A and B are shown apart, each in its own frame.
Chain A
Amino acid sequence: MGADPAEDGGGGVNPWPYILAAYLLAAVGLLCYLLSVSRRTKAMVAQIATLRRFSKDTMR
């Protein structure tokens, strides 16, 4: 009757959708964070460059 407890967690439930969901969610979350940090850094560096250029121009 049903799958082996060692395969299904003992509840007759297919565990693989849960396993894949957990790992995919973590992968997406970590990648999104990495992208967010990279984008924010790029934007910040661009603003710093603009301000430096602006202050140089006003010094002249």
Chain B
Amino acid sequence: MIGRGLERALGILAVIGLVTGLYTGFLYAPPDAVQGEVQRIMYLHVPLILVSYFAFFVVFVTSILYLARRCERHDAIAHSSAEIGVLFTALAIAAGSIWGRPTWGTWWTWDARLTTTTILLLIFIGYLMLRALVDDPSRGATFGAVLGIIGFLDVPIIHMSVVWWRTLHQPASVLRPGPSTVAPDMQVALYTNLAAFVLLYGYFLVKRVRLEKARWELIRLRMEGAA
């Protein structure tokens, strides 16, 4: 019952956060001095990609915990978080591509950050395929945990890609040392949307973990039936 209450509370808070995020992104924050109105896509793109990094960090931590303790709950969280991370990364790439057309003049370029982010997406699509292909749930969980840990190592590479290579993508403006380069009104919109997407991630995670627990329960019942 606590799970249901938490799920409902997170859902309500996420909707409130997203509506507030839309208000701050479209009405409160001014248009960018250089990019103009199209910069408003950043209030979607940046929170989506930051929350996807967080989702893959959760996969990393819970995968280590699963390998150490062999607890189903950790695997359920890792598997669920990977699926949500894939969704958020795909949407962040799509939003970035739509922003790139009027700003850079192209939908796509093989820039270091775009390429490493695409590699991250492909690694975790592979993770989900692996989980779907392995019949034995505990073997699938072990293989998934190993891939989840290795896959996460791409996240720091993505973050540092704008420092290590000369890229078209601008340097970090949120996760960076020193003061932010974002104007205060724009920071309000950015952080409101970031909070909203964190809440949405939490809501999706609670819902998806419930599905994962049901899957484990179904497997157990089938094994009992077969025995």
Contact = CB atoms under 8 A, between A and B. Distances in A.
Interface in B179-219: 200, 204, 207-208, 210-211, 214-215, 217-218
Contact of B98 (A7, A11, A18, A55): A18
A45 B215 CA distance: 9
Interface string A22-60: 110110011001100110110011011001101100000
B221 A55 contact: yes
B37 A44 contact: no
A19 interface: yes
B41 A10 contact: no
Contacts, number: 104
A55 B225 contact: yes
B103 A51 contact: no
B111 to A, nearest CB: 18
Nearest to B210: A41
A1 interface: no
A52 B224 CA distance: 11
Contacts of B35: 9-10
B98 A22 contact: yes
A41 B90 CA distance: 23
A45 B221 CA distance: 12
11 contacts: A5-B36, A15-B38, A16-B37, A18-B41, A18-B99, A18-B102, A22-B99, A23-B22, A34-B207, A41-B211, A41-B214
Interface of B: 22, 31-41, 44-45, 48, 84, 87, 90-91, 94-95, 98-99, 101-103, 105, 200, 204, 207-208, 210-211, 214-215, 217-218, 221-222, 224-225
